[in-house]
Amino acid sequence: MFPQFGATADTLSKASTMVFRIGTDAHLYDDPDDVSIAPLLDSKFDSEKCEALKRLLALIAQGIDVSNYFPQVVKNVASQSLEVKKLVYLYLLHYAEKRPNEALLSINYFQKDLGDPNPLVRAWALRTMAGIRLHVIAPLVLVAVGKCARDPSVYVRKCAANALPKLHDLRQEEHALAIEEIVGKLLNDHSPAVVGAAAAAFASVCPYNLSLIRRNYRKLCEILPDVEEWGQIALIGILLRYVIASHGLVKESIMFSLQCTESSHSVKDGSDADFGQVKESTDMGGTCDYEFVNMVSRCYIEGPDEYLSRSSYANRESFQLTDEQFTSGKSNDDVKILLYSTSPLLWSNNSAVVLAAAGVHWVMAPKEDVKRIIKPLLFLLRSSNASKYVVLCNIQVFAKAMPSLFAPYYEDFFICSSESYQVKALKLEILSSIATDSSISSIFKEFQDYIRDPDRRFAADTIAAIGLCAQRLPKMAHICVDGLLALTREEFVTKDFGFGDQEAGILTHAILSIKSIIKQDPPSHEKVIIQLVRSLDSIKVPAARAMIIWMVGEYSTLGEIIPRMLNTVLKYLAWCFTSEALETKLQILNTVCKVLVGATEDVWTFKKIFSYLVELAECDLNYDVRDRVRFLKKLQSSNLVSIGQEEGTNDLPEKDLLHVVAECILGRQTRKVKAESFSYRFYLPGSLSQIVLHAAPGYEPLPKPCSLLLDDRNVPEGTSEIKKTVADYSGTDDYGTSSEGSDDESASDYDSQHSVAESSGSGRGDDSEFTSEGNDNADPLIQISDFGNASENQNGVSQSGPANLGELMSDRALESWLDEQSGSSNPGISEQSQVRISSARISLGDVGKRVKPKCYSLLDPATSGNGLKVDYSFSSEISSMSHLLVCIEVFFKNCSSETISEITLVDEDSNRALDAADKAADVNQSSLASSDNVPTLVPMESIASLEPDQTARRILHVRFHHHLLPLKLALYCDGKKLPVKLRPDIGYFVKPLPMDVEVFIDRESRLPGMFEYTRSCAFTDHIEELNKENGDSLFVKDKFLAICESLALKILSNANLCLVSIDMPVAANLDDASGLRLRFSSEILSSSIPCLITITVEGKCSDPLNLSIKVNCEETVFGLNLLNRIANFLVERTLG
Amino acid sequence: MPPLMGIEFLCRVSDVLSDYLGGLNEDVIKDNFVIVYELLDEMIDNGFPLTTEPNILREMIAPPNIVSKVLSVVTGNSSNVSDTLPGATGSCIPWRAADPKYANNEVYVDLVEEMDAVINRDGALVKCEVYGEVRVNSHLSGLPDLTLSFANPSILDDVRFHPCVRFRPWESHQILSFVPPDGEFKLMSYRVKKLKSTPIYVKPQLSSDAGKCRVNVLVGIRNDHGKTIDSITLQFQLPPCILSADLTSNTGTVNILGNKTCSWSIGRIPKDKTPSLSGTLVLESELERLHVFPTFRVGFKIMGVALSGLQIDKLDLKTAPSRLYKGFRALTRAGEFEVRS
């Protein structure tokens, strides 16, 4: 109106905001580039660095790539100022994935910060380090997280819990166990803040490992109200899953309908007639729609996709719930405590918490108690439109399943004009499903107001809702129909002015509603049909007209008046046929045919009308109409008026048949179809899937009831032996950290399947032949020394049975050993509680001879094309050329029938890749400066020719740039070039470093803290061996020796180490291997840094053993990778 | 992640940001982009909320205030990131900063209520309820333990609490027992349903024929609470079928905005006359009569009264410091107050 004034107001407000902008960072944002950033970054003042970083942040915010500053920024990680640190971290996280090599530079600073006395610094360092997401540093992050999980500061522990999902996202299999271990530890924390974060980590890392929850279930329930709101949401879901998996569903709850309707279900399937009917019944909780509830519950447990796909094949029997899978909510303490601890959360300030708690009560609470969730849910409706929509989506399912719950609160669903259309539509749907005889009058009064709403789409929905209400409450049908009829009469006043689709939509919906009401009880609505037919002349909307005409055909034989009207009506329809819209034309044709089929009087007139219409329609412009009429004409050929033909003269059977077909197609009353709601999908309350109505990524239905319990109680047949023993083990053990790893294998059937597959699949290891070979071999040379005096009294004793064992030990140890033997003969009295008094140290003599390194395939004859087979194995030889080179034994075999000539292996792209890879791998290795000129592959002596079936062996000296990434080589033979990949084995990047036990222990003590890494894993190889022993009664070997042997062999044949000592427990009974300790020493080839490995055994001889592997090494990355490698090959099973 | 959790978190972020920046729009965010980045980094980590408690955030990242602005201009040095970890992160009451000290110990309790009402086309009151909040502003030294009780807790239909409220005392005796956060916060929100009357009435009359519609709206005070009703406004959306409108009022001003929203601000109701709005609407040419009717949205404010009738009985401090000042206030506003015509 006053543009000038507007302009001034605008400038004024701008001017006033300028005042407020003083002191903000606005100038940095407006002009981030006005000074050069690089010198500021190198400044020695924190404030200048800060400014530079803010400018960079501004550039990032404006979408400009400033990653070229990365090295300079990363340098500033070392700054002492926390603001600089924070800004650097923001920058780093933004670009780390883009510049992985430079990001690695910052790792050492993070390591330093992790030891900072300020918990804030530690927490930030951990968060950023975990956020960098590079596979290379994952082991380091894992160690850091493990350390921070034991931090005294709650905040740091919480950040550690938050870092676990980040690690998990990297999908490194070898870390999965360790991560779960930390999750378990954090779930046991005494601080609610940590537990909340740990719960969130659990949900994303290992949601199936419910046995972790079993341990702390009570404690978690008690701590739940004190946990942070966000953690509460995750924890509630976990606890619910746990209770269902371990105790099953609650008998008194809504889910019990699954069982009660199971029997009636099969009956219903047989009789189509009442299938669609809704069976309503009253019980303690009030009415509830059983069919519906049953389906909802099924969907919760199975997931709708699975359920729907199965139900379409009608084999519902495959999913049966037995009585055992239900528990009583009144007697089960775990159920009670969950409900008790979640009920105050219904008062939470956080809507998501309220909805999550309501979900638990919905599924678990006895029906009569479910009503306590109603008020809190309704309270949630007073929030933003977005959350209102989410809450209503959930209420909708609740209300449809148990309308009685919400029926008294119908006023809460009355609609405000300010709400969004989606919210309004949902509210209408809920209102129409909870309406009762007492509330319907006020609801209709509201509906009348809604019809006048300016939002016409909403008004049309209201009319549809009226129809739904009338179907639910047949008593109201007459009132509804009267109201709707009045509406149709009123609306047609405005009809001629063409208000577009919206008004037409209202009329169509009104007729549709009337039609569906009439369908319920046609005889009582005869007058309504007549009124509608009378108003045909004034109703112009084609869809509405078509529906009324359909009704004429459908109810043409109803009552007394309609048949008499037909004559006039049909004539009228025929008269206006040409001016009708397409759908109306089609409907007119159908109707006339239907009338013809059912007609008893006036047949002659109808026939004439039909012939007239056929003539008109056959010349219609629309091909749909022409097709339809052709079809109808054929059907009705007996009824067509043909001049030269008299009725009844040619009573051909085919004409009779046609008549029957016509009856079938046109005459039969429409059958009741399944109500539409039966095709709905249901997801757990509160989930995203329930809103979008399809399974969103990450959605999981509830676990199968009692699945956890079943697993523990009786192991189904076919599950592997390991699993059984593991389950036993976890039952008897006192849940130390070591048993966590094995627990998860028995956690759920999901996992057990996995373990079965794994154990059966690992039988094809290359080691298998060597193990059997080892058994045939001579007994190992045993050297024994007392722990007290380290002087080696080497006794070569051929070991044959337990009786001989006495000679192997010192007197002191023997005494205690024998004492225990009597106890061990009847196990179960005091197995675990025994105190170890002493241990003996032994050494195995000839293990070295039996070591046979694993063979890998470099080139398969199938892929090479010319029948050349190349295998390689890492050799324990040490290269004499350079300490950077690893020796590899390569075997060439000609499997073809022709001679292969000129075979040689060369480095594929030696010089180009060298630099880049070098940087990436050796950031932390400073000693490599002088070694750059060592080639990747020392040129191999080429094989001039290889006859068929001839084998040639070559030793390669290879330099791996990285101890994890494969090396690309090119194999030339017959002039062809074949690319091959050489995979490194970190176990051979070390060489044996012989040393004394004393030296070992001394060095070990000098590498504590950050240089020490531990992991635990299970070991099963010895079981095979022991079993074999049992069969062969002559040579009963000592169990301990068998374990030591298989363990040492396994390690020595997979890594180039030196066995330093074996400590054997003496005081323990025969069956308990706990305390067995093996020490290995080695030295990293490239840097000559010593690497000490200690393996401690725990568990019973005949069961899978729990190994805890410890590596002490100054080189962090290398040490961790070596540790992982060892743990991995130890877990791999070798079958004899 | 459950969708409601995402929505709730976003609401929390917007609350914190507008608390820090005194408003939330593009310009403010641009001007304070560093603080926004730092806050977001602290509030969410890897897609999961980390620290959302405003008190802790305040200690970690200082809000921009006048003093720091002036300081930064003068010294050219501003660090808004705290050097130490707030002690509250570790305590079991994360909402309370550790050990604040005040010379004057004060607690203010405000009842802030919003009245939702729907009056239908016949002039009948369909729904009338109050959504209220108990807002507390506490400046107390040490670790105070407060109890607050109501004279008539039975009228509360449903409640929601700040995490500091202990659930069990409320369950058994309807007493609010809590250790308050420092500063201002929302202690609880409640809902009182099925109220019998509204403080003001609005009587719209629309009669249309021959392509014109006469509008007449009367507004008046229904029953006197003894308090004045302030800033009364009336808003409604003209139906799309209206071509032009000519509306005048005897009190206050009437504005018709571009999107056919008509707003009438009355302010206080004068003693001598009843405010009325009258005028004619011209309908689209083919239209005889109006077939859809607008809904009037009413706004008002009453100081000093809680329309729900909720009364605070007493506020006790378990470990009473030497001097404690307690203050109570009440305020009622119109919430979703709709009158259909």
pLDDT score recorded for residue A924: 42
Neighbours of A521 (CB within 10 A): 11
What's the length of chain A?
1136
Query: For B237, which residue in chain A has the nearest alpha carbon?
Result: A454
Question: Mind listing the pLDDT tens digit for each residue in A1038-1074?
Answer: 677 777 788 888 888 888 888 888 877 665 566 777 7
Closest Cα partner for A253 from A355, A354, A347, A338? Answer: A338
The CA distance from A1128 to the nearest CA of chain B, in Å, is: 29
The CA distance from B327 to the nearest CA of chain A, in Å, is: 24
The CA distance from A372 to the nearest CA of chain B, in Å, is: 11
Mutate to test the interface with B, among A164, A238, A379 (most CBs of B within 10 A): A379
Residue type, A819: D
**For the ranges A640-649, A800-809, A1099-1108, the one whose mean pLDDT is highest:** A1099-1108
At A275, is the secondary structure helix, strand, or coil?
coil
A755 pLDDT more than 50:
no
Higher pLDDT among residues A802 and A1132, named by residue: A1132
**Cα angle value A47/A49/A55 (rounded, 5°):** 105
The CA distance from A233 to the nearest CA of chain B, in Å, is: 8
Pick from A332-346, A789-803, B60-74: least confident: A789-803
Backbone angles phi, psi at A1067, to 5 degrees: -70, -20
Question: Cβ of A387 and B50 within 8 Å?
Answer: no
**Cβ contacts of residue A1064 below 8 Å, gap of 6+?**
A839, A840, A841, A842, A1040, A1044, A1075, A1076
Query: Which residues sit opposite A1093 in a β-bridge?
Result: A1080, A1111
Q: Looking up tokens 């050097």, which residue turns up?
A: B83
Backbone angles phi, psi at A1108, to 5 degrees: -115, 120
How many interface pairs between A and B have CB atoms less than 8 angstroms apart? Answer: 215
**Cβ contacts of residue B268 below 8 Å, gap of 6+?**
B228, B229, B230, B231, B232
Question: Mind listing the pLDDT tens digit for each residue in A161-173?
Answer: 998 888 888 877 7
Q: Which two tokens stand for residue A947?
A: 């006859």
The CA distance from A462 to the nearest CA of chain B, in Å, is: 14
The CA distance from A484 to the nearest CA of chain B, in Å, is: 16
CB contacts, 8 Å: A195 with chain B: none
A259 pLDDT more than 80:
no
Question: Cβ of A454 and B286 within 8 Å?
Answer: no
A1 pLDDT more than 80:
no
Residue A272's pLDDT band (cuts 50, 70, 90): very low
- Over the Cα atoms of chain A, what is R_g? 41
Question: Cβ of B126 and A494 within 8 Å?
Answer: no
Question: Cβ of A29 and B31 within 8 Å?
Answer: yes
Question: Cβ of B287 and A386 within 8 Å?
Answer: no
Pick from A14-18, A384-388, A765-769, B285-289: least confident: A765-769
Question: Cβ of B4 and A494 within 8 Å?
Answer: no
The CA distance from A60 to the nearest CA of chain B, in Å, is: 11
Query: Which residues sit opposite A73 in a β-bridge?
Result: none
A674 pLDDT more than 60:
no
Rounded CA-CA distance A481/A518 in Å is 9
Residue A358's pLDDT band (cuts 50, 70, 90): very high
CB contacts, 8 Å: A133 with chain B: none
CB contacts, 8 Å: A120 with chain B: 60, 82-85
At B298, is the secondary structure helix, strand, or coil?
strand
The CA distance from B268 to the nearest CA of chain A, in Å, is: 25
Task: Out of B2, B5, B85, name the one closest to residue A155 (CB).
Answer: B85
Question: Cβ of B4 and A355 within 8 Å?
Answer: yes
At A178, is the secondary structure helix, strand, or coil?
helix
Higher pLDDT among residues B54 and A791, named by residue: B54
Question: Cβ of A154 and B89 within 8 Å?
Answer: yes
Run of H or E residues at A480: helix A477-495
Question: Mind listing the pLDDT tens digit for each residue in A952-1001?
Answer: 888 888 777 666 677 777 777 777 777 787 778 888 888 888 888 888 88
Question: Cβ of A154 and B90 within 8 Å?
Answer: yes
Task: Out of B45, B82, B291, name the one closest to residue A162 (CB).
Answer: B45
Question: Cβ of A90 and B41 within 8 Å?
Answer: yes
Question: Mind listing the pLDDT tens digit for each residue in A430-483?
Answer: 998 888 888 888 888 888 888 888 888 888 889 888 888 888 888 888 888 888
- How large is the ipTM? 0.91
Question: Cβ of A191 and B288 within 8 Å?
Answer: no
Question: Where are the extended beta strands (E) located within A185-289?
Answer: 249-250, 280-283, 286-289
Run of H or E residues at A886: strand A886-894
**Tens digit of each residue's pLDDT, chain B (341 residues):** 788 999 999 999 998 998 888 888 888 888 888 888 888 988 988 888 888 888 788 878 877 765 555 555 555 455 566 666 666 565 556 667 666 777 788 889 999 999 999 998 888 888 899 999 999 988 888 778 888 888 888 888 889 998 888 888 888 888 888 888 888 888 999 999 888 888 888 998 888 877 788 889 988 888 766 778 888 999 988 888 888 888 888 888 888 887 888 899 988 888 888 888 888 888 877 777 777 888 899 999 998 888 888 888 888 887 766 677 888 888 999 988 999 87
Q: How many angstroms separate the Cα of B263 from the Cα of each of A786, B121, B247, B277?
A: 98, 20, 11, 11
Residue A392's pLDDT band (cuts 50, 70, 90): very high
Residue A289's pLDDT band (cuts 50, 70, 90): low
Once rounded to an integer, what is the mean pLDDT over residues A82-101? 83
CB contacts, 8 Å: A162 with chain B: 45-46, 48, 50
Task: Out of B90, B127, B292, name the one closest to residue A155 (CB).
Answer: B90
Question: Cβ of B4 and A387 within 8 Å?
Answer: yes
Query: For A23, which residue in chain B has the nearest alpha carbon?
Result: B69
CB contacts, 8 Å: B93 with chain A: none
Query: For B40, which residue in chain A has the nearest alpha carbon?
Result: A90
pLDDT score recorded for residue A821: 40
pLDDT score recorded for residue B131: 92
Q: How many angstroms separate the Cα of A819 from the Cα of each of A196, A267, A813, B24?
A: 50, 70, 10, 79
Residue type, A619: C
The CA distance from B77 to the nearest CA of chain A, in Å, is: 6
Question: Cβ of A347 and B46 within 8 Å?
Answer: no
**For the ranges A568-582, A896-910, A1003-1017, the one whose mean pLDDT is highest:** A568-582
**For the ranges A307-321, A797-811, B39-53, B217-231, the one whose mean pLDDT is highest:** B39-53
A111 pLDDT more than 80:
yes
What's the length of chain B?
341
A814 pLDDT more than 50:
no
pLDDT score recorded for residue B190: 92
CB contacts, 8 Å: B79 with chain A: 50, 81-83
Query: For A449, which residue in chain B has the nearest alpha carbon?
Result: B121
- Over the Cα atoms of chain B, what is R_g? 25
CB contacts, 8 Å: A498 with chain B: 286
A752 pLDDT more than 60:
no
pLDDT score recorded for residue A389: 92
Question: Cβ of A445 and B292 within 8 Å?
Answer: no
Task: Out of A61, A191, A686, name the one closest to residue B2 (CB).
Answer: A686
Rounded CA-CA distance A584/A539 in Å is 12
CB contacts, 8 Å: B131 with chain A: 382
Question: Cβ of B163 and A390 within 8 Å?
Answer: no
Rounded CA-CA distance A411/A442 in Å is 9
Per the prediction, chain A carries an average pLDDT of 72
A1075 pLDDT more than 80:
no
Question: Mind listing the pLDDT tens digit for each residue in A723-749?
Answer: 333 333 333 333 333 333 334 333 333
Pick from A303-312, A594-603, A921-930, B54-63: least confident: A921-930
Question: Cβ of B294 and A454 within 8 Å?
Answer: yes
Question: Cβ of A50 and B79 within 8 Å?
Answer: yes
The CA distance from B164 to the nearest CA of chain A, in Å, is: 9
Residue A139's pLDDT band (cuts 50, 70, 90): confident
pLDDT score recorded for residue A998: 83
Task: Out of B85, B116, B160, name the one closest to residue A348 (CB).
Answer: B160
Query: For A119, which residue in chain B has the nearest alpha carbon?
Result: B85
Q: Which two tokens stand for residue A80?
A: 């002492």
The CA distance from A454 to the nearest CA of chain B, in Å, is: 5
Question: Cβ of B157 and A191 within 8 Å?
Answer: no
Query: Which residues sit opposite A981 in a β-bridge?
Result: A968
Question: To the nearest 10°, the Cα dihedral for A617, A621, A624, A627?
Answer: 50
pTM value is 0.67
Rounded CA-CA distance A1061/A1080 in Å is 7
A129 pLDDT more than 80:
yes
Task: Out of A57, A230, A375, name the one closest to residue B37 (CB).
Answer: A57
